[in-house]
Each structure stands twice: as C-alpha cells, then as structure tokens.
C-alpha cells in the first residue's frame, strides 16, 4: 500500500511497518468506498485524492485512469491464483 504521510498519521499507522501499512491502506480504501459508493471512485480517491474526485479532476489524470483500470484486473488475477493454490480468496 502507499500512504501519504498525513494520511498515515490520520489513520494512526506507521507507513514503514508492513502490517500497519496494509491495515492503514485497506482502512483508507474502505473509507473512500463508503464515501463515494463505487469501487471506481474509491480507487480514484485513493490514487488521486478525494478532492480530485469531488471536482472530477481525476478524469484528466492518466495515472489515475490506469490505476482504476488495473487494480480490479490485478485483484481478479490474484484471486484466481489463490484459488488455484487452495488459499482463501476473501
């Protein structure tokens, strides 16, 4: 996960501690999902910031557009790999 220093502080996690980083990143993504109500907008907020989602500026950021497209594809890929290895996928 990648957390900005202020976001990590706000979540009360150390971004350099792997377990805390994952906990903070997943919590922040869940907050954005609750706030925006769709995975696409939550991913945009995680990547570009919620302010850019609110004013639609994320639409013009190619990195964010790629992120929105790639994350669900990668999640699906890893779920299939976990399932094939007999590991839980949720």
The residue written with tokens 């907020």 in the block is 45
**pLDDT for the residue 1:** 87
Assess contact for 47 and 64: CB atoms under 8 A.
yes
Q: 44, 53 in Cβ contact below 8 A?
A: yes
pLDDT in tens, 15-38: 999 999 999 999 999 999 999 999
Note the pLDDT tens digit of each residue in 38-75.
999 999 999 999 999 999 999 999 999 999 999 999 99
Give this prediction's pTM. 0.87
Confidence of residue 87 (pLDDT cuts 50, 70, 90): confident
Radius of gyration of the chain (CA): 14
């Amino acid at each position: 996960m990648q957390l900005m220093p202020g976001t990590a502080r706000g979540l009360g996690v150390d971004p350099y501690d792997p377990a805390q980083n994952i906990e903070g990143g997943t919590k922040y993504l869940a907050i954005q999902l609750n706030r925006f109500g769709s995975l696409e907008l939550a991913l945009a907020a995680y990547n570009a910031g919620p302010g850019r989602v609110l004013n639609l500026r994320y639409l013009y950021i190619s990195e964010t557009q790629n992120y929105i497209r790639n994350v669900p594809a990668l999640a699906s890929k890893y779920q299939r790999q976990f399932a094939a290895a007999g590991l839980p996928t949720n």
